[in-house]
Amino acid sequence: MVSVLGSSVAPLALAAALAEGRHGGMRIAMVLAAEYVLYLVAMPVMGLIVDRASDLRAVLVVSQLTAACSQLVQAALIVSGVTAVAPLAAAAGMGAVAASLSVVTGARLVPNLLNPGLLQQANGLLRTVQMTLAVLGPATAGVLIAVLDAGWLIAWDAVTFLLAATIFTHLPRHPTVSVDGEPVESTHTGQDKVANVDAPVTLTAGLRAFAARRWLVALTLSEAVADAAFMCALILGPVHAARELGGIGHWGWINSALAAGSAIGALAAVLVHIDRAGWAIASGQAGLSLGIAAMAADIPMAGITAATAAGAAVAGPGDVARRSVVQTHVPHRQLGRVVGHIETIGSIPVPLAYLAAGHAADSIGTRPVIAACAATMLAVAIAPLMLPGVRRLRLTPEPPVSGAPRH
């Protein structure tokens, strides 16, 4: 959570450093695209490493130290006046690899520390703290960029990663449960295939575990398209704010409203039990489109921030349900690889969205592009509910009937 303090500031600082001079928008897009490509390529491999690891705490510490090195290199380059795409993209790529390792390690470590019945509350609490710490980040960055060099703000992000690594060294050391020693898990509706306890810990075995669950494939594809549309709108946000909303500083307030609404939604997920996970996930994705639609509409800034916060609040429980349902229904020994495949598939459309966003906005303007993003998010949020398995998906698996065969 400590690293969120810096990570909520660093992207805007990097964008500010690259935006100066000619072709600033394309340089930003190229660095971000390179970062996402490396993120999605590294994710399955990181999942395999995590599933084979004997000390998840050590893996998590390594991920934070690597992220700190990435940010220190970026900070040194920017402070030195270097804004070329290649070195910054390489440094950002190192951070992307660290992020992928951190994501899959956290996804597997949380169920290792807690009773399964507490997963929803734990993920909700984690999300609440993350979003609460991120509320002031973008608005603070908008103020600090005016008085400090962007490189020093990125250096602050590196310091927060170092602090996080120090804190993680105090976690209890939890060895990975052996493949042969972990019992076969029940399924939520009887549709999932029971995993083979003797299955090898390989990338292909993890991919098969992912593909065997139609509900998971449908939700992952839906999220992939929705995230691409959302990120397309976000990358256009600063330009749209500067052209249509009265200044780029307003973009910081929109980001703060997004984080505040997400914190409220995550807190609601802690306090309220989520039963129908499929409906919660779909509702959350649909709700997130509300703020994007408001940006495209010709309404006052107060209305945009209110819609953004409200939509993010609705999205909070859905995001917590999405995280928890995977940890609940995927066998622990496969979790790192399955999460890796989910994140990879979810990230594939994002670099394309980054590269296409600037060109589309230059051709037809930011407003229609952002409106199309909102419509896309709403459509793909509803689509998975066509599957009965998604509509029946529960966060807590139904206990198997005594004496009945498990399948």
pTM of the shown model: 0.75
- Containing domain of residue 310, as a range? 2-169+187-391
**Which pLDDT value is given to residue 38?**
87
**Which pLDDT value is given to residue 140?**
67
Cβ-in-10-Å burial (0-12, 13-18, 19+) of 170 comes to exposed
Q: What is the average pLDDT across 211-221?
A: 94
Residue 405 lies in a domain: no
* Nearest-angstrom CA–CA distance, 326 and 320: 10
* Nearest-angstrom CA–CA distance, 35 and 216: 26
> Read out DSSP for 9-48?
THHHHHHHHHHSSTTHHHHHHHHHHHHHHHHHHHHHHHHH
**Which pLDDT value is given to residue 136?**
64
Contact 327, 87 (CB under 8 A): no
pLDDT of 231 strictly over 80: yes
**Which pLDDT value is given to residue 109?**
87
**Which pLDDT value is given to residue 380?**
94
pLDDT of 180 strictly over 50: no
> What would the pLDDT profile of 97-153 be if each residue is shown by its tens digit?
998 999 899 888 888 887 777 888 888 888 777 777 666 666 666 666 666 777 888
Q: Which two tokens stand for residue 342?
A: 């989910």
Residue 103 lies in a domain: yes
* Nearest-angstrom CA–CA distance, 23 and 19: 8
Residue 68 sits in a domain of what CATH number?
Answer: 1.20.1250.20
**Which pLDDT value is given to residue 395?**
83
**Which pLDDT value is given to residue 252?**
74
Residue 180 lies in a domain: no
| Confidence band of 195 (pLDDT split at 50, 70, 90) | very low
Residue 8 lies in a domain: yes
| Confidence band of 402 (pLDDT split at 50, 70, 90) | very low
pLDDT of 303 strictly over 50: yes
**How many domains is the chain built from?**
1
> What would the pLDDT profile of 342-356 be if each residue is shown by its tens digit?
988 887 887 777 777
Residue 202 lies in a domain: yes
* Nearest-angstrom CA–CA distance, 96 and 378: 28
Q: What is the average pLDDT across 249-270?
A: 82
Residue 275 lies in a domain: yes
Strand ranges in 94-217 using DSSP code E only, listed in sequence order: none
pLDDT of 405 strictly over 60: no
* Nearest-angstrom CA–CA distance, 255 and 205: 39
Residue 250 lies in a domain: yes
Residue 182 lies in a domain: no
Q: Which two tokens stand for residue 13?
A: 């600082």
**Which pLDDT value is given to residue 215?**
94
